[in-house]
């Protein structure tokens, strides 16, 4: 047995590797991204960044059908994308163990919404396991593969942000042999879901769920911790640790399997305590099902249904509910001297130039002292670091829903009769994920919109993972790079323009031409992500020609700051000649490199 300091994500990866997986697939998304990155460091396991979450599940299921254990990981909103594939896996069942990780994000630290993935477990009649720390993330992942094969089902593993990213010591076990040869056993009744076969699978899924519920009654993943009989707390996941900190004397039923519930175990626990409280993040999932058993419990009438829990949140709610007299715990407030960090694009970001141009063409920002005009242009955004273009001073995004939706939003607007030609802004990774579907639809239905594909050849926001257009594998090795331009032309787009992200004149000309065109237009704006390439040129500086007009501040570069009455460029972060966007927009030629003289 070996002891290691691991995050929850690293523990899931290690648990899967030690369970004998031979394949792992994922689409990056906080808080789940590091799971595949950790597996990718193990050369004996095939890993891939799939083009989206549905594809990842389908790849994992294919491996499972061949008798090989496989891990698939994503964030909670990704499970929406994968829902059809997930339900198919739930219906056919598995051969080799299949574990699907959906990492929830209570508190919306890096997502477009909050969701409770446990509801998908109930929808698919599959078991859901909830680890509360790194050790359980390791143990539960190993156990999930065995459950998957024992009960012919995919298993949903649901960690949350705090479990994914916190670290603790983990005791690991020996690796299970994984040298079985991949083979496929023909079985139409199980794997070909024509209506007749699908109807026969239904009763089998119901019977499977009954057996899983029986297993949950005695599974070591569900534990009772005896304490005071006055208060019994039923909980799961990270909420267990918050509750233990606030109610150290209470009795606990900690559910490692949050679906299906162990009804007998819950009834037995309820008879041993005077009052039962359910403490769980997000929805009252456990509470709803326990109340359906006829038990009187408190939960969301005491504790929030939204946001991430903490000891402070739990204790404050307990005081309001009369469970506590005083707050036993108070977190240390962040130091007041910490630097403020507003959400801005990085210095040297290739997206700054296009958003600045859209902002100026659309009347989104004005120089200090100038009259603000009515905004022009309708700009549909998407999910990625370029979503930061919605913030001032750029203010150049009007909608943002889910991955790949921007193109279809714009198409819907023009079909609804919007007079002006709407624009859709999407990154290269998101375009490969699901934006291409919107493009195909726009071509087919002759939507007169302008699509801007911001191509920085990586998935920048989640940490530079590869995608089909990046030319890099999950392990960083060179692979075939799919040309976005050829792909777009192949989809039937006749008007395609490729411009340099750091040439403002070219961007402006391409935009004007596309906006005036009666056809569907695609502009591909290419520029490397500066945090990936780490190129550093000669930093720019502001000379005495500066009249403090503030034009350079409108580009939203975090390297340009106002220092009292002056504007300065932070030379420690400026990428110099690899950008020069500020230099291009300065009307006084007041921005030069350090070696130039006034």
Peptide bond into 31 cis (omega under 30): yes
In angstroms, rounded to a whole number, what is the distance separating the alpha carbons of residues 150 and 570?
Answer: 60
What is the structure's pLDDT at 329? 60
Q: Are 523 and 453 in contact (CB under 8 A)?
A: yes
Peptide bond into 393 cis (omega under 30): yes
In angstroms, rounded to a whole number, what is the distance separating the alpha carbons of residues 63 and 71?
Answer: 10
Q: Are 493 and 436 in contact (CB under 8 A)?
A: no
Give the pLDDT means over successive 10-residue stretches in the chain (598 positions): 94 97 96 97 95 96 96 97 97 97 94 94 98 98 98 98 96 89 92 90 96 98 97 98 96 98 97 97 97 96 96 95 81 71 86 96 84 89 94 93 95 94 97 97 97 96 93 93 97 97 97 96 96 89 92 93 89 93 95 73
Query: And the tokens for 212?
Result: 């899983």
Peptide bond into 225 cis (omega under 30): no
Q: Compute the C-alpha angle 54/60/63, nearest 5°.
A: 145
State the DSSP string of 2-18: EEEEEEHHHHHHHHHHH
Those residues whose C-beta lies under 8 Å from the C-beta of residue 250, and which sit 6 or more positions away, are 227, 228, 230, 231, 232, 233, 243
Which residues are 567's β-sheet partners?
562
pLDDT digits (tens, 9 = 90+) for 179-234: 889 999 999 899 999 899 889 999 999 999 999 999 999 999 999 999 999 999 99
What is the structure's pLDDT at 339? 67
294 by Cβ neighbours in 10 Å (0-12 / 13-18 / 19+) ranks as exposed
Q: Please say whether the dihedral angle defined by the alpha carbons of residues 377, 454, 539 and 577, taken in this order, is positive or negative.
A: negative
In angstroms, rounded to a whole number, what is the distance separating the alpha carbons of residues 100 and 495?
Answer: 41
In angstroms, rounded to a whole number, what is the distance separating the alpha carbons of residues 116 and 144?
Answer: 19
In angstroms, rounded to a whole number, what is the distance separating the alpha carbons of residues 451 and 443?
Answer: 11
What is the structure's pLDDT at 373? 83
Q: Which of 556, 567, 566, 579 is nearest to 365 (CA)?
A: 556
Distances from the Cα of 127 to the Cαs of 9, 106, 119, 190, 236, in angstroms?
20, 21, 11, 19, 14
Q: Are 208 and 52 in contact (CB under 8 A)?
A: no
In angstroms, rounded to a whole number, what is the distance separating the alpha carbons of residues 99 and 454?
Answer: 34
Enter the pTM of the model: 0.92
Q: Which helix (DSSP H) or strand (DSSP E) does residue 379 occupy?
A: strand 379-380
Distances from the Cα of 215 to the Cαs of 69, 208, 211, 219, in angstroms?
21, 10, 6, 6
Q: Are 80 and 402 in contact (CB under 8 A)?
A: yes
What is the structure's pLDDT at 542? 93
In angstroms, rounded to a whole number, what is the distance separating the alpha carbons of residues 126 and 213?
Answer: 10
State the DSSP string of 411-425: HHHHHTT-SS--EEE
Question: Max CA-CA distance within the chain?
Answer: 84
Q: Compute the C-alpha angle 172/177/180, nearest 5°.
A: 150
Which residues are 425's β-sheet partners?
452
What is the structure's pLDDT at 126? 98
Percent share of the chain, pLDDT over 90 = 87
505-519: b (≥16 Cβ within 10 Å) or e: ebbbebbeebeeeee
Which residues are 562's β-sheet partners?
567
User: What is the Rg, in whole angstroms, of the alpha carbon atoms belonging to the chain?
Assistant: 27
């Amino acid at each position: 047995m070996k002891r290691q300091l691991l995050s929850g994500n690293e523990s899931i990866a290690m648990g899967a590797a030690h369970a004998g997986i031979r394949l792992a697939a994922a689409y990056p998304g906080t808080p789940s991204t590091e799971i595949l990155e950790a597996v990718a460091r193990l050369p004996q396991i095939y890993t891939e960044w799939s083009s989206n979450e549905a594809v990842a599940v389908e790849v994992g299921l294919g491996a499972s059908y061949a008798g090989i254990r496989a891990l698939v990981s994503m964030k909670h909103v990704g499970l929406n994308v994968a829902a059809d594939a997930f339900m198919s896996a739930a219906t056919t069942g598995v051969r080799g163990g299949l574990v699907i990780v959906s990492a929830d994000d209570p508190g919306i630290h890096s997502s477009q919404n909050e969701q409770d993935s446990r509801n998908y477990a109930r929808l698919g009649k599959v078991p859901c396991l909830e680890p509360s720390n790194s050790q359980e993330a390791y143990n539960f992942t190993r156990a999930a593969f065995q459950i998957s094969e024992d009960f012919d089902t995919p298993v949903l593993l649901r960690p949350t942000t705090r479990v994914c990213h916190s670290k603790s010591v983990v005791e690991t076990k020996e690796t299970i042999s994984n040298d079985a040869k991949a083979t496929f056993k023909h079985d139409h009744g199980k794997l070909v879901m024509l209506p007749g076969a699908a109807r026969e699978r239904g009763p089998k899924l119901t019977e499977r769920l009954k057996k899983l519920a029986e297993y949950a009654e005695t599974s070591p993943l569900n534990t009772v911790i005896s304490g005071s009989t006055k208060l019994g707390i039923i909980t799961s996941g990270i909420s267990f640790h918050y509750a233990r900190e606030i109610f150290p004397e209470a009795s606990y039923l900690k559910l490692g399997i949050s679906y299906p519930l162990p009804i007998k175990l819950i009834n037995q626990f309820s008879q041993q305590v005077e009052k039962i409280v359910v403490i769980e993040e997000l929805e009252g999932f456990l509470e709803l099902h326990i109340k359906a058993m006829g038990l009187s419990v408190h939960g969301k009438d005491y504790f929030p249904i939204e946001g991430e829990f903490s000891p402070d949140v739990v204790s404050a709610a307990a005081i309001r509910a009369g469970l506590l007299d005083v707050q036993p715990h108070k977190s240390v407030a962040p130091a007041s001297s910490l630097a403020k960090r507003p959400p801005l694009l990085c210095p040297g970001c290739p997206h700054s130039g296009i958003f600045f141009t859209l902002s100026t063409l659309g009347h989104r920002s004005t120089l200090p002292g100038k009259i603000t005009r009515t905004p022009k242009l309708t700009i549909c955004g998407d999910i990625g670091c370029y979503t930061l273009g919605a913030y001032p001073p750029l203010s150049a995004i009007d909608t943002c829903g889910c991955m790949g939706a921007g193109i279809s939003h714009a198409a819907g607007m023009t079909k609804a009769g919007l007079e002006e030609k709407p624009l859709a802004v999407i990154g290269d990774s998101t375009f490969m994920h699901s934006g291409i579907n919107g493009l195909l639809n726009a071509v087919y239905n002759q939507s007169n919109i302008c699509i801007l594909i911001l191509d920085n050849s990586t998935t920048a926001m989640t940490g530079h993972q590869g995608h089909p257009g990046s030319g890099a594998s999950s392990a960083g090795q060179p692979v075939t790079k799919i040309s976005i331009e050829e792909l777009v032309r192949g989809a039937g787009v006749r008007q395609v323009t490729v411009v340099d992200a750091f040439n403002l004149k070219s961007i402006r000309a391409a935009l004007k031409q596309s906006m005036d065109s009666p056809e569907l237009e695609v502009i591909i704006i290419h520029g490397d992500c500066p945090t990936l390439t780490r190129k550093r040129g000669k930093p720019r500086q502001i000379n005495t020609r500066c009249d403090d007009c503030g034009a350079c501040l409108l580009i939203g570069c975090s390297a340009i700051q106002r220092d009292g009455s002056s504007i300065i460029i932070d030379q420690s972060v400026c990428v110099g000649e690899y950008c020069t966007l500020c230099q291009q927009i300065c009307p006084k030629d007041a921005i030069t490199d350090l070696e130039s003289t006034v």
